[in-house]
Structure 1
Amino acid sequence: MLYLKKIDEKNKGKEALYRQVADSLKTAISESRLPPGSPIPSESALCTHFNVARSVVRQALALLVDDGFILKQAGRASVVAPRMKHRRNLQNSLSLHAQLEREGTPLQTSVIRLEAAAFPAEVAAFYGDINGLLLERVRYIDDEPISYVKTWLPKAFASLSSEDLIDQSLHRQLQERFNRQPQQGRNQIQTVPCDKTLAGYLKVKKSDALLQLQACYYDQHGLPLEWFTAWHRADRVVFDIAVDASLENNIQVKDFQRAIK
């Protein structure tokens, strides 16, 4: 069972043994080394692998059942539970944070960087400027990464700090501090291969495919507000798009076709 990290002898007294066993199994499940539907090793095998008593293994498995990682089956081996997918509606400009908040699902955010930077050419065309801010974040649910986001912002938001955005909504900060909110824009979706950097942030394999969302929004005054690219784990996020044949297929955004081709 090389996919299960053993307990370091130096750490045995630092945290309850059953939690260390549970964490090792959670990591293997989160990183798809134990994919959904696969059987959990027997109690005897886990006892031998971790060099712990059967009572420790049983506590660890009970914790994983309570946390929704494992499904118990009467008379059969327990299996890894199907992964819950979080849905994002792309028909409106509500952020992922706001949509999950409405569902009662807390979204955690770590900020990798927020700094002044030169815009790439397509972003510079959108803003009509060559410099601004680069914001990079990883979003989590229950401490599991679900998306990595790279956002380009105008210099008007230079007073924002990384601390302002830890576990916070960027859109809420822009509204409360600058009285600007997304009004119109365009979302583009495609499936892309994972690279080494994304695999590290999202805890997936480099061979995994990701759902890439690229978007740019204008605010209520018609001014360019935000340009971002977000890479989502396909096993954790689903994009919903409503269809209505009565709506005209027009994008009513000033100079939008100039900015995005």
Structure 2
Amino acid sequence: MSTWLTELDADAVGPAAPGPLHAQLSALLRSHIVDGSLPVGADLPTEAELQAHFGVSRSVVRQALSSLTAEGLVRRGRGRGSVVAPRGEHHRLVQRLSGLSTQVPAVTTSVLALGPEHDEAAEARLGVRAVVGLRRLRRAEGEPIALIHTWLPESIGAGLTTAQLTDTSLHAVLRSTYGVSLVSGRRQVRAVSASGALAEALEVPDGSPVLLLEGTTLDRSGVPVETFRTWHRADRVVFDVDVVTDDGRAEVEPVPVPVPASAPVPVNDASREPGALPGEAGLDELARRARELAADLDGLARGRR
């Protein structure tokens, strides 16, 4: 029996838990695939092992595995059992203002809704009394990867059309249509679970983990132009973050450059620590230049007499 399987509680699937047995089993296997406990290419326990461990029928096991196969999480081959299927991951740099439409190749964008909305939180963040709501769905390789809900001031959003925003970037449209360039903002990321309409839109089971990215974006004058929430499928989208030091610069170790012993040490040697005294060769060079300067000054003084 698989070592991984022996570590699972046999009572995790049974009449005491809510839902059909096949749904319980598929949910359990799905969670371990998504969190990496069962990595890509790993062999799943055999049907017989799953039956024996959880005390369920073969039909329950087959229905659970069929569900995972339909979701693209599992591949089943005749004579070789079930394995965790490779999953296409789409990477997004969250510190960049550009979104999935520019960072993920061949992404498509459909507009689900566009029109006036009343949202007190969005109105407060944008500092306006009326906002336009925009809901879009982004797909990659034919499957949904993100649902976006954006709010814009009515003065900007009222002029936008569905045709303008289909399969394109909102920021690009704002720049070309209104001359508005979005240049700064603040982002937050949190993990939430999908349910109801959200789960249906992203085509994931109820309760599936999703990554919520939310924030407000400002123009060059520091005026808020958009506030948004974007729910990303956690099994398809990976957030990448560039790491820098506290002062915002990448930390790189200096590489020492060997200097021949015979080489003179310049007086303005930038490699010395501030306030450090030059070496012996540097002192000799400083004395020589001081003598030359004194001779030049003396010559100028004699010429003026």
Compute the TM-score of the two structures, normalised by the length of structure 2. Answer: 0.56
Percent of aligned pairs with the same amino acid: 35
Which segment is superposed worse, 138-147 or 89-98? 89-98
Which one has more relative contact order, counting CA pairs under 8 Å at least 6 apart?
A: 1
Which residue is equivalent to 1:126? 125
CA shift for structure 1 position 41: 5.2
Which residue is equivalent to 2:197? 197
Q: Does 1:99 align with 2:100?
A: no
CA shift for structure 1 position 223: 1.3
Which residue is equivalent to 2:74? 38
Give yes or no for contact 1:32–1:204 (8 Å, CA) kept in 2.
no
CA shift for structure 1 position 77: 5.3
Q: Deviations over 1:110-149 (max 9, x none)?
A: 111100122x222212221121100001100122000111
Q: Larger radius of gyration, structure 1 or 2?
A: 2
Which residue is equivalent to 1:110? 110
Counterpart CA distance in 2 for 1:207 and 1:138 is: 19
Amino acid in the other structure paired with 2:121 = E
Which residue is equivalent to 1:235? 235
Instruction: Give the match's secondary structure for 2:91.
Output: strand
Amino acid in the other structure paired with 2:197 = T
Change (3 A) 1:108 1:37: closer
CA shift for structure 1 position 78: 7.5
Q: Does 1:87 align with 2:91?
A: yes
CA shift for structure 1 position 81: 2.9
Counterpart CA distance in 2 for 1:210 and 1:200 is: 13
CA shift for structure 1 position 32: 4.3
Change (3 A) 1:141 1:37: closer
Aligned residue pairs total 186
CA shift for structure 1 position 228: 0.5
Give unpaired runs (5+ residues) of structure 1.
4-27, 43-74, 249-261
Which residue is equivalent to 1:20? none
Amino acid in the other structure paired with 2:131 = G
Change (3 A) 1:221 1:32: farther
Give yes or no for contact 2:69–2:76 (8 Å, CA) kept in 1.
no
Amino acid in the other structure paired with 1:184 = S
Amino acid in the other structure paired with 1:137 = R
Amino acid in the other structure paired with 2:94 = L
Pick the structure with more strand per residue: 1
Give unpaired runs (5+ residues) of structure 2.
1-21, 24-63, 249-305
Alignment of 1:1-261 (within 5 A): 32-34=68-70, 38-40=74-76, 42=78, 76=80, 79=83, 81-100=85-104, 105-118=105-118, 120-157=119-156, 158-247=158-247
RMSD: 2.6
Change (3 A) 1:97 1:32: farther
Instruction: Give the match's secondary structure for 2:174.
Output: helix
Q: Deviations over 1:142-190 (max 9, x none)?
A: 2200011100011122111111111111111011111112211011000
Give yes or no for contact 1:185–1:216 (8 Å, CA) kept in 2.
yes
Instruction: Give the match's secondary structure for 1:201.
Output: helix
Change (3 A) 1:32 1:39: closer
Q: Deviations over 1:193-220 (max 9, x none)?
A: 1111111100000120110000110012
CA shift for structure 1 position 99: 1.6
Give yes or no for contact 1:139–1:146 (8 Å, CA) kept in 2.
yes
